[in-house]
């Protein structure tokens, strides 16, 4: 390998990984800020609309997962604690993986359906796959 090739090699290895632009669903992000001892999510409603889940279920999940009382206020969600870092968006991603994404085709075009014994199923509108939700 001559100097030129080495240099070229370096350039290529420093390039960021190729971004695949196939229609992969991107989990929306919450925009939030803290105020006193509260954390306020500004775009709560619009994120819920994007992932097509009602605000109440998302609310419940957050309250349970973060062990924080929460309340919806217009388009916002108020969490009664100051939350550091990006735990809120991590939890949102978890929520989407658990309750929104189809594991068969990896699309978010799903809805929840009541199954027997109070169980819920996630039904995919793209490929028809179903899985139970706990």
CB atoms within 10 A of CB 73: 11
DSSP string of 28-69, one letter each residue: ----EEEETTEEEETTHHHHHHHHT--HHHHHHHHHHHHT--
Binding segment for Zn ion (CB under 5 A), chosen from 4-12, 56-64, 70-78, 122-130, is 122-130
Among 49, 97, 126, 131, interactor with Zn ion by CB under 5 A: 126
Query: Please, which of residues 87-116 interact with Zn ion by CB under 5 A?
Result: 102, 104-105
- Least distance (Å) from Zn ion to the CB of residue 23? 13
Among 89, 115, 129, 130, interactor with Zn ion by CB under 5 A: 129
- Return the H-helix or E-strand segment holding 92: helix 87-99
Measured from the CB atom, the residue of 39 and 110 that comes closer to Zn ion is 110
- Which two structure tokens, joined as six digits, stand for 9? 């090699």
Contacts with Zn ion by CB under 5 A lie at 102, 104-105, 124, 126-127, 129
């Amino acid at each position: 390998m001559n100097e030129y090739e080495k240099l070229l090699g370096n350039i290529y290895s420093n390039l960021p990984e190729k971004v695949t632009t196939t229609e992969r669903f991107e989990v929306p992000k919450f925009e939030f800020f803290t105020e006193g001892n509260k954390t306020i999510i500004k775009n709560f409603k619009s994120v819920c609309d994007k992932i097509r889940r009602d605000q109440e279920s998302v609310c419940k999940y957050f309250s349970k997962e973060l062990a924080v009382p929460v309340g919806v206020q217009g388009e916002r969600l108020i969490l009664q604690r100051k939350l550091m870092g990006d735990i809120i968006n991590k939890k949102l991603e978890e929520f989407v993986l658990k309750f929104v994404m189809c594991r068969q085709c990896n699309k978010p075009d799903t809805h929840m359906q009541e199954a027997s014994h109070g169980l819920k199923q996630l039904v995919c509108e793209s490929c028809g796959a179903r899985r139970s939700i706990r």
